[in-house]
Amino acid sequence: MNRRRFLTLGASALGAAAAGGVYAWQIEPFWLELVRRPMPLPNLPESLVGKTLLQVSDIHVGPRVSSDYLIRSFTAAQSLEPDFVAFTGDFVSFRSGFEVKELARVLQSMPHGRLGTVASLGNHDYGRNWRSIAVADDISRVATDAGMVVLRNDVRTIDGLQIAGLADYWSPEFGPSHGQGPADALLAPPSSPFVHAGRDAAATLRSLAPEQPTVVLSHNPDAQDLPIWDGVHGWVLAGHTHGGQVRAPFLPPPILPVKNRRYTAGVFEVGPGRTLYINRGVGFLIQVRFAVRPEITLFTLERAPSVG
């Protein structure tokens, strides 16, 4: 190979690398993908067959994620006219009160379900070190004012669909099943409208009616590996991983904040009659994505055989 040919190839490689870097930094993090999937549920009433549920996760309102991008994403999501909307946590990347105020502005454009809009919280919604009940209350208040039903270890049945929302796995509200001792949520003021006093994640799952079609919102997929899910059938919607944000050929994702490294993104069968879906999220903590586009997910409800 002569010198000119070598320099030409070198320049081409550098140019391709630079273009790839710009793509991963400035294009893909904001290239929202609509993912459509069926959601088969046992015991689904005829009235809910064909209805849609939109999952939105990990918007991470804060200085790193453009609020204009989030508002555009919400506008696109609302155009789908979903019947249910479920937010699965990490509304903010909390640093100060700024993020909470900005969240209120962003949620003015959020998609609403025609039948109901529900939410659970993620670890970032509990402030620094994921331990602040006060920050979680502030986030819950803003989300409630925007029209969501925030479920922190609580259950609602909406038009025949049973929806549970668990406190985040890393939060003090999740309970002793995470090895944190008695839930700090029990110390919250009894007048708080957001904490189901005395109920941790395990008790919430035990309270589910097994004969009803069920969707559980649980931000961190690692919660699936705890022995608290016996008898829970249906779907579990999670986020947290952002899909790893970067998927290089033949290499594991470099950014994957879970113990169980198989929990990246997409569908996982995690128990008899129980399916986990991990959403790649809309926002990010680090502005880089490669082969892991941000997503919103539109599920279509359909009947599944009953689980024995």
Q: Domain residue spans in the chain?
A: 1-30, 33-304
**What is the C-alpha to C-alpha distance for residues 122 and 88, in angstroms, rounded to an integer?**
7
**What is the C-alpha to C-alpha distance for residues 16 and 42, in angstroms, rounded to an integer?**
50
Question: What pLDDT, on a 0 to 100 scale, did the predictor assign at position 52?
Answer: 98
Q: How far is CA 20 from CA 23, 28, 248, 286, 289, in A?
A: 5, 10, 12, 16, 11
Q: Is the pLDDT of residue 279 over 60?
A: yes
Q: Is the pLDDT of residue 58 over 50?
A: yes
Question: What pLDDT, on a 0 to 100 scale, did the predictor assign at position 15?
Answer: 45
Average pLDDT, integer, range 36-54: 97
pLDDT digits (tens, 9 = 90+) for 72-111: 999 999 999 999 999 999 999 998 889 999 999 999 999 9
Q: How far is CA 60 from CA 88, 101, 239, 284, in A?
A: 11, 13, 12, 6
Answer yes or no: are the C-beta atoms of 45 and 295 closer than 8 Å.
no
More confident residue, 185 or 214: 214
pLDDT band at 4 (very low <50, low <70, confident <90, very high): low
Q: Is the pLDDT of residue 8 over 90?
A: no
- Pair of tokens at residue 235: 């779907």
Question: What pLDDT, on a 0 to 100 scale, did the predictor assign at position 302?
Answer: 98
Could you tell me what percent of the chain has a pLDDT over 90? 79
**What is the C-alpha to C-alpha distance for residues 98 and 243, in angstroms, rounded to an integer?**
27
Question: What pLDDT, on a 0 to 100 scale, did the predictor assign at position 271?
Answer: 92
pLDDT band at 160 (very low <50, low <70, confident <90, very high): very high
Instruction: Calculate the average pLDDT of the chain.
Output: 89
Q: Domain 33-304 maps to which CATH number in 1.20.50, 1.25.40, 2.40.10, 3.60.21?
A: 3.60.21
Question: What pLDDT, on a 0 to 100 scale, did the predictor assign at position 199?
Answer: 87
Residue with tokens 């070198």: 10
Q: Is the pLDDT of residue 186 over 60?
A: no
Question: What pLDDT, on a 0 to 100 scale, did the predictor assign at position 192?
Answer: 57
Q: Is the pLDDT of residue 188 over 60?
A: no
Residues in the chain: 308
pLDDT digits (tens, 9 = 90+) for 170-179: 999 998 756 4
Answer yes or no: are the C-beta atoms of 73 and 296 closer than 8 Å.
yes
pLDDT digits (tens, 9 = 90+) for 193-205: 677 666 899 999 9
Specify the range with the lowest mean pLDDT, choosing from 122-126, 191-195, 255-259, 262-266.
191-195
Residue with tokens 């099943």: 177
Q: Which residues is 81 bridged to in the sheet?
A: none
- Pair of tokens at residue 95: 């640093």
- Pair of tokens at residue 124: 């970032």
Question: What pLDDT, on a 0 to 100 scale, did the predictor assign at position 308?
Answer: 60
Question: What pLDDT, on a 0 to 100 scale, did the predictor assign at position 185?
Answer: 41
Exposure string of 81-99, with b = 16+ CB inside 10 Å and e = fewer, is ebbbbbbbbbbbbbeeeeb
